Structure 1
Amino acid sequence: MIGMTELNRLFAQLREASPVGYTAGLHIRFAAPLVYQSTYDPKWLEHYTSNAYALRDPMIAWGLSCEGQTRWSEIDLPDPFGIWRQAAEFGLNYGMAVSCGPVQSRSIVGCSRTDREFTDAEMAKIALVVRTLHEVSEPQTDLTQAQIQALRCIAGGDRHAAAAARLGISESALKARLVSARERLMARTTSEAIQKAKEIKLL
């Protein structure tokens, strides 16, 4: 099974190809991605988030309605909130978007640079990385009963010792079940694993 190491390797390739940064939302379901990462200027991210621009962003609207890759300058959609102009004030002068996967589990990635448009070759290379990210981050649709029980105990508020006692196993065995569940769900923390398990109806 592909794990976080492979995801991190692919994200590193995106970082190298995006001089001003990127934002990746993989497997967007119920308006939230199962995997999210961004390397944009934190000030821009704070501004973007505080203004709820994800709901108004022409790039995301394009990504939800189209598959493929395009330059930001080629997205012919209204931008009544001036998001493109504001992004440029933070150095995001040029960019591209990649969208792939079924609409009920869509991955959308935006990459930016400050100096020039992305070339066709650069876009093709980035699109390949994004499609690979989409494939390797495909969420597992099953966990073992032992993993589900361990997550359910923690989700219910039990601490490790109490959860282990409830399940009749050692605390180290419980932790091993939680670690394996996190790896299977590609989650960095147990809380994230619980959330992902809920989203795919395993809890």
Structure 2
Amino acid sequence: MSTNETIVSEALGRLHKLSPAGYALGFHIELMAPKFVFQTYPKAWLDHYSSNGLLMVDPMVAWGFSNEGTERWSNLDDSSGVMKLASEYGMKFGAVVAVNTNGSRSLGGLARSDRELTDEEIELIFKDMKLIHDATADTSELNEATLAHLKKMAVMVTHPGS
């Protein structure tokens, strides 16, 4: 396993522990399409979110494209009701993270069902998002095997058992 694969794998493991209700992470988004996506939100939520086009009204997405850093879900303007609906799927608390380096933007939403994330946890989440962002920044520098493994990891995280 390459250094970049190890960085991504270890960071995803830490993010999973910090967000037991799931996460959705998109790295290096260009024209609304990320190069890498890792999702562990409940499948029922992912299906509902997708089939109802909630991406277009998601306050995390709006915040993430307008800001850098982190914000708790409870501080977002949820006039569209997306966060309220997410709570019905067990994702009651969470944070949004936005990383932007040299015009390349990565976004993440991470959830818990039991309590708000602490400031320290949110800081750790940001650091791991930045690690993954940096490790996947220049795919031209990654060898074919590493790139293939990272894409396979994205599928395995998003679709366990695949």
TM range (shorter): 0.7 to 0.9
- Report the Cα distance in structure 1 between the residues aligned to 2:6 and 2:25, rounded to whole angstroms: 17
Identity value in percent: 34
Residues 4-41 of structure 1 deviation map (CA, whole Å, 9 limit, x = unaligned) = 33312211110011121111001111111101011111
2:58: which partner in 1? Answer: 57
Name which one, 1 or 2, has greater alpha-carbon Rg.
1
- Report the Cα distance in structure 2 between the residues aligned to 1:120 and 1:186, rounded to whole angstroms: 33
1:158: which partner in 2? Answer: none
1:74: which partner in 2? Answer: 75
1:135: which partner in 2? Answer: 134
1:42: which partner in 2? Answer: 43
- Report the Cα distance in structure 2 between the residues aligned to 1:188 and 1:116, rounded to whole angstroms: 32
Structure 1: give runs of 5+ residues left out of the alignment. Answer: 144-179, 190-203
Does the Cα contact within 8 Å between 1:99 and 1:108 map onto a contact in 2? yes
Higher strand share: 2
- Report the Cα distance in structure 1 between the residues aligned to 2:55 and 2:133, rounded to whole angstroms: 20
Change (3 A) 1:78 1:13: closer
Give the letter aligned to residue 91 of structure 1: G
User: 1:182 offset after TM fit, Å?
Assistant: 4.5
- Give the count of matched residue pairs: 152
* Structure 1 counterpart SS, 2:96: strand
Greater relative contact order (Cα 8 A, min sep 6): structure 1 or 2? 2
Does the Cα contact within 8 Å between 1:26 and 1:33 map onto a contact in 2? yes
* Structure 2 counterpart SS, 1:112: strand
Change (3 A) 1:78 1:114: closer
Change (3 A) 1:70 1:185: same
Does the Cα contact within 8 Å between 1:28 and 1:104 map onto a contact in 2? no
TM-score (norm 1): 0.68
User: 1:94 offset after TM fit, Å?
Assistant: 0.6
TM-score (norm 2): 0.84
Q: Provide the aligned C-alpha RMSD in A.
A: 2.2
Change (3 A) 1:91 1:104: same
Task: Identify the match of residue 151 of structure 2 among 188, 197, 201.
Answer: 188
